[in-house]
Chain A
Amino acid sequence: MIEFNSVTKFYGLVNGVNDVSMSLSPGAYGLLGPNGSGKTTLINLITGQLRPTIGRLRIFGEDPWGKEQMLRRIGLCPAVDVLYSNVSAFEWVNYQTRLIGFDWSEARERTHNALSTVGMTDAMHRKIGGYSLGMRQRTKLAQAIAHEPELLILDEPFNGLDPIGRQEMTELLRNYLGKNRSIFLASHVLHEVEEIKPALLLLSRGRLLAEGPPEEIREILASQQTHHENLRFGETGPVNRGKKNVADILIRSSDNYLLAQRLLAITRLQRIQMSPDETELTIGTTDLPLVCEQITRICASESIQVFELRPADGSLDELFSSLMKIHRGES
């Protein structure tokens, strides 16, 4: 579906994407990377809005630059906001759908369906200027799915959404995937992307650092953290504990309070925090392997069920830092 062959894109002297090679078959993909890592440039290359400076690019077997008919098969929900304040969502999505090439009546029907899918039926005739951020995000998604594209590309779709909005957006995307379509989702927040179970593509400074399923990526992170902890303790001892030495992990269990209590009794933790809805426990530690071992013991002895255990969001930086070190051959 998507093939990058040593693709590089320069903006003048600035390097947007640097020597990216990958081959992606239909499915779900999460493009992860910090701000300015080249995610939007990569998306613009895929949609044919930019031409690679070096390298070859094929989407559905064709060079996307200048192949406008190919855009029928792609739906894009860009990161930028909709700023037509004096038109309604229906008018705008209908216009966008007509630009795909549908006739008047079919465009109206598709618009109606798309807005209904994203839960905008009630507000679709109100002016966009009066919408909340979440409503505008859903309207953007509606214009991207109205023509039922084979490949749906989303750039930071969770930006500005409240927790309920995020949950709804995730559900929408899962449903879309269930219809045998592909999703390419760019974000800088790991767990948002993870919700739709994609293969991950990690991008930093225009370079593709790693690609693979989330489990493999996490293994890299865990091994790197352990490795770093060992190095730190060996070199400077536990006294030198800067902020970077602390790894955060997130736990969802059947009894978060009991687990927190037992952990505090036997282990020294840098921080411990319960989420407002009391479903998640975040632990900050400088000794990750030891804490993981303790958690296993406590859960076994107190019959606590662990539903989820993973690095918290902040660990994404750590992950990128680790991967960069691997690329530089420092570890």
Chain B
Amino acid sequence: MPVPVNDLGYRSWNGKLGSASLRWLTIAAVGIRIVFKSQWIKRIMFVAWFPTLLVGGLFFFYEQYVENRDRFDKVADSQTDEGDPAASTRWSPDGDSVTDGIEGYSQVVTILQFFAPPGEVNHLVDAFSKEPDAARGEVWSFILLQMLRRTQGFAVLLLIGLIAPPLISRDIRSRAFLFYFSKPITRLDYLLGKFSVVGFYVGFVTILPALALYLFGVLLSPSLSVVLTTWDLPFRVITACLVAIVPSCLLPLMISSLTSESRFAGFAWFMIWILGYVGYQMVYRIALFQSEMQPGEFETIWRVVSLYDCLSYLQSWVMGLENNHGYALTLLTFVAGLSVFCVLVIQRRISAPLRA
């Protein structure tokens, strides 16, 4: 009986292949699906949207205030025309003013105080009490930035701490690179796919709520002409979020690629943020205490010690709330350098099993 000899050679695929430039999407989609199975991720994402409601309320009260203020101005103007001198004093920093009585004002101030320290809030209150329409762009930018920095910042820290550490370390542990790279995908596809997994979830709790709030603000405003004065805000929001997302996602992925035990990656991620933040805050506070400088005047290169403070400053700069361009560009160069470094390390680490 003749022994059957089977053709075990490579069989070319006759079907239609997807675009090579979109193969990373497969890695990303699978990763996103796997991560979404975690109940804790769903819970954190759900809770991370809560502050949006609060900020949405702030938008609502602000626009209510603007509208009431317009009505008040018309009445006041008519009173001034009739010779009432008291109507010209609409706001004073002590808060005991006519403006306090306008509906929406006190709610806006209360919510702002919840998000930011009094020093930062006073300046803004001053601006929108005088010219609420003109200050809208600044107020909206400030509100969105505070949300991104504070509540969303903590949510992002936790989300990345849950998602990123095992993403590459697990592949190192299970030697999954051999499976990945036996397919026609490049190392860059792999990196892009993994980056997108983290980026998707971070974007979901940062970019999406911020854009939704902008839309909400526009819908609540007195007229669509608001868009003309705030058209740049969505672009600024997206850029500000990307400035934070890129290094914040690449850094834990780099750490993940350096170990096969995900707990070390998780620990290193939290350690970098906590030590950096506490260290910088301590330097910052002591420097202010010693030198009697104002908070905004302390612009030292040591800010790079704390990734949180560094990215916060850059986000603030992108949103148009900081204007020391030279300092911002220095920090941006550092962040860009860090991101490139992370990419190079990851590329090298994921190539290691192939070189061996």
Asked if the two chains touch in their complex, CB atoms less than 8 Å apart, one says yes
Name the interface size band of chain A: under 10
Is the CB of B86 closer than 8 A to any CB of chain A?
no
Is the CB of A2 closer than 8 A to any CB of chain B?
no
Complex CA distance for A272 and B2, rounded to whole angstroms: 11
Contact string, A270-294, partner B, CB cutoff 8 A, digits 1/0? Answer: 0110000000000000000000000
Complex CA distance for A271 and B1, rounded to whole angstroms: 8
Is the CB of A264 closer than 8 A to any CB of chain B?
yes
B340 to chain A, nearest CB (A): 32
Q: Using Cβ atoms and an 8 Å threshold, which residues of chain B touch A264?
A: 1
Complex CA distance for A264 and B3, rounded to whole angstroms: 14
B-side interface mostly = loop
A206 to chain B, nearest CB (A): 25
Q: Using Cβ atoms and an 8 Å threshold, which residues of chain B touch A271?
A: 1
B86 to chain A, nearest CB (A): 73
Q: Using Cβ atoms and an 8 Å threshold, which residues of chain A touch B1?
A: 264, 269, 271-272
Name B1-49 residues within 8 Å CB distance of A.
1
B353 to chain A, nearest CB (A): 15
Contact string, B113-155, partner A, CB cutoff 8 A, digits 1/0? Answer: 0000000000000000000000000000000000000000000
B172 to chain A, nearest CB (A): 13
Complex CA distance for A99 and B10, rounded to whole angstroms: 53
Closest A residue to B173 by CB, please name it: A83
Contact string, A5-28, partner B, CB cutoff 8 A, digits 1/0? Answer: 000000000000000000000000
A256 to chain B, nearest CB (A): 17
Closest B residue to A271 by CB, please name it: B1
B83 to chain A, nearest CB (A): 81
Complex CA distance for A272 and B1, rounded to whole angstroms: 9
B356 to chain A, nearest CB (A): 14
Complex CA distance for A262 and B32, rounded to whole angstroms: 62
A241 to chain B, nearest CB (A): 14
Closest A residue to B261 by CB, please name it: A83
Complex CA distance for A96 and B1, rounded to whole angstroms: 56
Closest B residue to A273 by CB, please name it: B3
Complex CA distance for A269 and B3, rounded to whole angstroms: 12
Closest B residue to A264 by CB, please name it: B1
B5 to chain A, nearest CB (A): 14
Complex CA distance for A91 and B306, rounded to whole angstroms: 42
Closest A residue to B4 by CB, please name it: A271
4 contacts between A and B (CB under 8 A): A264-B1, A269-B1, A271-B1, A272-B1
- Point out residues on A near B: beta carbons under 8 Å: 264, 269, 271-272
The 4 closest A-B pairs by CB, nearest first: A269-B1, A264-B1, A272-B1, A271-B1
